[in-house]
Structure 1
Amino acid sequence: MFRRGRLALLALGIALTVGLSACSTPGQTGETSGGEVTATLRDPDPQPIATDPQPVLPVTVRGFDGANVTISDASRIIAVDRFGTLAQTVYALGLGARLVGRSTAAKLPAILDRTDVTPGGEAMSVEAVLALHPTVLLTDTTTGTAAVFEQLRAAGVAIVYFDPTRTLAGTGPQIQAVADALGVHEQGIALAQRTATEITAATAAVPAGKAKPRIAFVYLRGTALTMLAGPGSGADAMIGGLGAEDAGTASGLTEPFVTITSEAMIVARPDILLVMSDGLASIGGPAGLLKLPGVGQTPAGRDGRIIDMSDAVLLSFGPNTGRVLTTLVPAVYR
């Protein structure tokens, strides 16, 4: 179920701590008495690169599925993927007013009032999509079945697929691909460049000369769903951007996510546990995390080294990537 391209992992959102910090640093960290560090992006809404740019349409683009799609109208956009990246990108391009539908994972405060077409994090609903009368649907292969997409295409919806893989190197190209599909090529260039500059600044802030910490990303949704991340999860790319070593990959995992076992955690030997805030709350906080199989026997478990960050931004990549890294660096290297 947790293979690349089929990962039904929809972040379920979180009540975000939002500060008015346009002239301040991207985030802050706060340590609890138990050693847990919460890394908070002060304002999770990225600054739009333009104000309501006018799309130059029609355009024909080749989607990730290899199909050529012609978009002649971008007035009603639905953007759906497992981490909310596409909706975030639409907003950052200055097209937020045209966004009418999103996935559960797209929890930026600025777009919370848009209709959720994957209610509860489930697969996309044909009825929910068609009720919004979209002129274009931006998506990937993780949010609906082939039958769903066939029904939507038969109903006349222009569907553009994007690569579901999340990497730092792929952030800029995906921003540009979204911009090109919506007829705002120049805004895509500007946003991709701004994001690249922020990522470069964030990675440059990683302290030199220090040993790489081993960080394990743990996906939690109650005790019934506890997963350790490995290669291709997206978490490995974020951890690499922090100048750290992904514990799951280093331990020999070959899948993006595997069920947590005592053996897997002990072999992974993480120095730090990285989790989403809602997931941590779903198992009773740090105390609940330390009760999971093998966690208490790891260096991170013994030292209480836990970093949590909002579900809405931690693995969203896209225009927030540099700001997320900038916020996490001091939490990792405190």
Structure 2
Amino acid sequence: MGHRQPPPSCSGPPRGTARGSAPGHARPARRRTLLGLLLVLPLLLSGCQAPTGGAHSGQAGTGQAVPWSQVRPLADPRSYQGPTTATVPDADIAPVTRTSRPVLPATVTDVQGTEVTVRSDDRILALDLYGTLAATVYGLGLGDRLVGRDQSTGIPAAAKLPLVTSGGHQLNAEAILALHPTVLITDTTLGPWDAVLQLRDSGVPVVVVGARRSLDTVGTLVDEVAAALGVRAEGKLLRTRLDKELAAEQAQIDTIVPTEAARRPRVIFLYARGQAGVYYIFGKGSGADSLITSLRAVDVAGAAGIGAFTPLNAEAMAKARPDVILMMSEGLRSVGGVDGALRLPGVAQTPAGKHRRIVDMSDYQVLSFGPLTARVLDALARSLYAPDSVAVPAEGAAR
């Protein structure tokens, strides 16, 4: 942990080779975002560990959230005091159909320009840093064909699948090959790249999909995964369902957001791994900005010109002056809870620090931007605007 350079696992072969292109050969419009991701990737790869249980881990709580008809939003969410854990009570994915009918073989050109033909999806692996891809496979109705999982696949239905990533999020080619997969869907957030090449050399069709995560990519990732698995019709159904869920959720959020712009909370996302002394602000282009604006809150990192993955410093926090700090649950735990977070550079001096206003959520959900996105927004909106309606009260967690 703590490395600042992109690991070899994040590099691929040059464009024009038989095996596809490296992330660094993306089109210029995307290059800065990808380079930023690669800069922070080692921290994410080594920092995410399995949840340790309990409300603070951000896993599903013991109760249900208050029905929306009974939600009473705060008159001024900027003045609320105390921490909150945003919790998705039910993290399982309902498939759009129980009888998916793949049309195979399916030939696709993946995001790296590599043409891949998938002839069977009887044994699927869908692996990425966020757990998004496996969740999408479940949504398409093919979850029973998954034969393994990555560290970040936290949906309950996948809990008993064998783990095929080691050291956090490193692909283990031997463990993957032992499962005899007929297709692997992945992106450039996992490594080492040599493991991907080994799998391709062994005859496993590998489809590389987009690595960016935001509200805008929820539907496009469904399209990419559905095309690779020969279930385009199911993909259209799932994308339509997710679009409707997101639209309904954002309409609901609009009903509890203060009408006065001055009362809308100013929010910033902090990434922390206290055991390594690693602290970042996730700003423009990180995905956190998309999350915050979807909640109708003020993205203060973007407003302050803070880039996608910026080392935390007191000057930036003083400039941003957030009312609320969003964090991953394990990240908050790693610094010693709220008290520890207040000792990070510049945090105690912000309005959020003075009010102990930290909202944490499961590492495996908050930035996944997959089939759970509407429920993630629901939990976060409640935490921001109506904290008494969350599924698990924050004060019930060990801080």
Of the three residues 296, 300, 307, the one matched with 2:348 is 296
The aligned counterpart of 2:299 is 246
How do residues 55-134 of structure 1 correspond to structure 2 at under 5 angstroms? 55-134=102-181
- Partner letter of residue 201 of structure 2? A
Of the three residues 372, 389, 392, the one matched with 1:320 is 372
State the shift of 1:259 in Å: 2.1
Q: Residue 73 of structure 1 aligns to a residue in which SS?
A: coil
The aligned counterpart of 1:226 is 279
Bigger fraction of residues in helix? 2
Task: Give the structure-2-normalised TM-score.
Answer: 0.77
Note if contact 2:37-2:309 (Cα within 8 Å) is conserved in structure 1. Answer: no
Q: Residue 308 of structure 1 aligns to a residue in which SS?
A: strand
- Partner letter of residue 136 of structure 1? V
Residues 116-167 of structure 1, C-alpha deviations (whole Å, 9 max, x = no match): 2222323212112212111111111110133222111111111111111112
Q: Which runs of 5+ in 1 are unaligned?
A: none
Alpha-carbon spacing, 1:203–1:141, altered in 2? closer, same or farther (3 Å): same
The aligned counterpart of 1:17 is 60
Alpha-carbon separation, structure 1, partners of 2:50 and 2:321: 29
- Partner letter of residue 246 of structure 1? D
Alpha-carbon separation, structure 2, partners of 1:251 and 1:135: 47
Of the three residues 267, 276, 292, the one matched with 2:328 is 276
Note if contact 2:219-2:243 (Cα within 8 Å) is conserved in structure 1. Answer: yes
Note if contact 1:13-1:311 (Cα within 8 Å) is conserved in structure 2. Answer: no
**Higher mean C-alpha deviation, range 162-171 or range 242-251:** 242-251
- Partner letter of residue 60 of structure 2? T
State the shift of 1:5 in Å: 4.7
State the shift of 1:258 in Å: 2.1
Q: Which runs of 5+ in 2 are unaligned?
A: 7-34, 54-58, 73-79, 387-399
Bigger fraction of residues in strand? 1
- Whose radius of gyration is greater, 1 or 2? 2
Residues 76-132 of structure 1, C-alpha deviations (whole Å, 9 max, x = no match): 111111111001111111111111122211111111222222223232121122121
The aligned counterpart of 1:330 is 382
The aligned counterpart of 2:13 is none
Alpha-carbon spacing, 1:286–1:245, altered in 2? closer, same or farther (3 Å): same
**Alignment: residue pair count:** 328
Alpha-carbon separation, structure 2, partners of 1:22 and 1:272: 21
Note if contact 1:12-1:311 (Cα within 8 Å) is conserved in structure 2. Answer: no
Alpha-carbon separation, structure 1, partners of 2:312 and 2:153: 26
Alpha-carbon separation, structure 2, partners of 1:170 and 1:260: 27
Alpha-carbon separation, structure 2, partners of 1:116 and 1:257: 29
Q: Residue 170 of structure 1 aligns to a residue in which SS?
A: helix
State the shift of 1:40 in Å: 0.8
Alpha-carbon separation, structure 2, partners of 1:22 and 1:238: 20
Note if contact 1:46-1:319 (Cα within 8 Å) is conserved in structure 2. Answer: yes
Q: Residue 115 of structure 1 aligns to a residue in which SS?
A: coil
Residues 300-332 of structure 1, C-alpha deviations (whole Å, 9 max, x = no match): 111111111111211111111111112211211
Note if contact 2:300-2:320 (Cα within 8 Å) is conserved in structure 1. Answer: yes
**Higher mean C-alpha deviation, range 268-277 or range 215-224:** 215-224
The aligned counterpart of 2:95 is 48
- Partner letter of residue 379 of structure 2? T
